[in-house]
Amino acid sequence: MTVSTQTVSTIQFPYKRTLGPVMGRFFSELTARRIVGIRSGERVIVPPMEYDPETGNELARDFVEVGPAGTVRSWTWVAEPIASHPLDRPFAFVLIRLDGADTDLVHVLDAGAEDAVHTGMRVAPRWRDEPVGRIDDIVCFVPGERAETPEGEPGEAQEVTTMEYFSTITYTDVLSPTLVRYASNLRAGKLTGQRCPQCNRVFLGRGYCSVDAIRLGPELDEDLPDRGVVSNYTIVTPTPYPGQKETEPFARASVVLEGDEMVIAQQQILDLPVSEIRVGMRVRAEWMPEAERDAAEITSKGWGTVAGFIRGWRPTGEPDEPAEQYMNRVF
């Protein structure tokens, strides 16, 4: 099977922050479908700020309701939205000077077509059916003077003190020729590395010797055993977090491959209580089924990585190696 030279990865983690008295008031008012700014001398700043952006002085909590309609001051058209954009159809990012404000609010405009957008046009918000105190309680702005509001009164503003969301980044890795060969061999159920001709150390999927700073080409590839010895380990006791899969204490171990100094770190020891894992224990790799290995990917930072190809390492039952020879070493 051909290995792709690029992989796309996504990192996502939950984020929570307190809003403070000023932004907290702004988001609280959104739950009642109102937009507020804060007075700074003769100006009204929207969204409100705790400190004057020109002088740095703390502002009095003099909030002013503005809008909801306003005037487009500047805009840019998005013809092909991506998953992280607020709308799933072409739209414009706009700077809007809401009525009664002296600064501009960044938001999105659903105008239908690029030629329907122009600087100076009047727009108004389209409100979410059930506002919760987020900026997307205003789904978007639309052309015209009248806000699009669901039937019924919004009720009193609900206090909002924190903001919670998932922070996500998606990135593309371009794989080196060494990693492509490494991943191809992992899919075939083989561990391979390159042996440095100067220091005799073996490296997995790296393509260079980090000791002698020389390139390690395909002519230095060699097959490595999928057996080894546990050289150290850590027992992790999970704490609750979104998307949690591990709920009981688990171990991650470093395995020194048999007959060499090559270490594969962060490995799972299979079918053994964490209390029975020990330094010097002999283990053998348990490979994922071929179909699952074919679906696995490796990233540009994946030298030495076997995740998705090796399920874990199973004790062989053979006598342990002396633990003393692995003391005070990581690699």
Question: What pLDDT, in 10s, does the model give residues 62-75?
Answer: 999 998 999 999 99
Question: Are 45 and 156 contained in the same domain?
Answer: yes
Closest CA to 59 of 77, 74, 46: 46
Give a yes or no: residue 5 inside a domain. Answer: no
Question: Are 208 and 69 contained in the same domain?
Answer: no
Into how many domains does the chain fold?
Answer: 2
DSSP code, position 307: T
The answer, yes or no, to whether residue 108 has pLDDT greater than 90, is yes
Closest CA to 157 of 65, 79, 89: 65
- Amino acid identity of residue 55, one-letter, is T
Residue 328: band (very low, low, confident or very high) from pLDDT cuts 50, 70, 90: low
Closest CA to 179 of 296, 53, 17: 296
Q: 190-210 in b/e burial notation, b at 16+ Cβ within 10 A?
A: ebbbbbbeeeebbbbbbbbbe
pTM score, two decimals? Answer: 0.61
**261 vs 42, higher pLDDT:** 42
Give CA–CA dist 130/133, Å, rounded.
Answer: 10
Give a yes or no: residue 180 inside a domain. Answer: yes
Residue 6: band (very low, low, confident or very high) from pLDDT cuts 50, 70, 90: confident
Q: What is the mean pLDDT of residues 300-325?
A: 80
E strand or H helix at 139:
strand 138-143
What domain range includes position 109? 20-160
Question: Are 130 and 226 contained in the same domain?
Answer: no
The predicted structure's pLDDT at residue 207: 87
The predicted structure's pLDDT at residue 32: 92
Give CA–CA dist 109/94, Å, rounded.
Answer: 7
Question: Are 108 and 136 contained in the same domain?
Answer: yes
Question: Are 258 and 294 contained in the same domain?
Answer: yes
Give CA–CA dist 269/251, Å, rounded.
Answer: 7
Question: Are 66 and 124 contained in the same domain?
Answer: yes
pLDDT digits (tens, 9 = 90+) for 180-221: 888 888 888 999 889 999 998 888 888 889 889 999 999 999
DSSP code, position 47: S
Give the end of a domain, one of 129, 160, 191: 160
Task: Decide if 205 contacts 238 (C-beta within 8 A).
Answer: no
Residue 331: band (very low, low, confident or very high) from pLDDT cuts 50, 70, 90: low
DSSP code, position 136: G
The predicted structure's pLDDT at residue 16: 86
Give a yes or no: residue 170 inside a domain. Answer: no
Average pLDDT, the chain: 88
The predicted structure's pLDDT at residue 92: 97
Give CA–CA dist 281/274, Å, rounded.
Answer: 13
Question: Are 211 and 251 contained in the same domain?
Answer: yes
Give a yes or no: residue 3 inside a domain. Answer: no
The predicted structure's pLDDT at residue 299: 54
Question: Are 102 and 184 contained in the same domain?
Answer: no
Give a yes or no: residue 82 inside a domain. Answer: yes
Give a yes or no: residue 124 inside a domain. Answer: yes
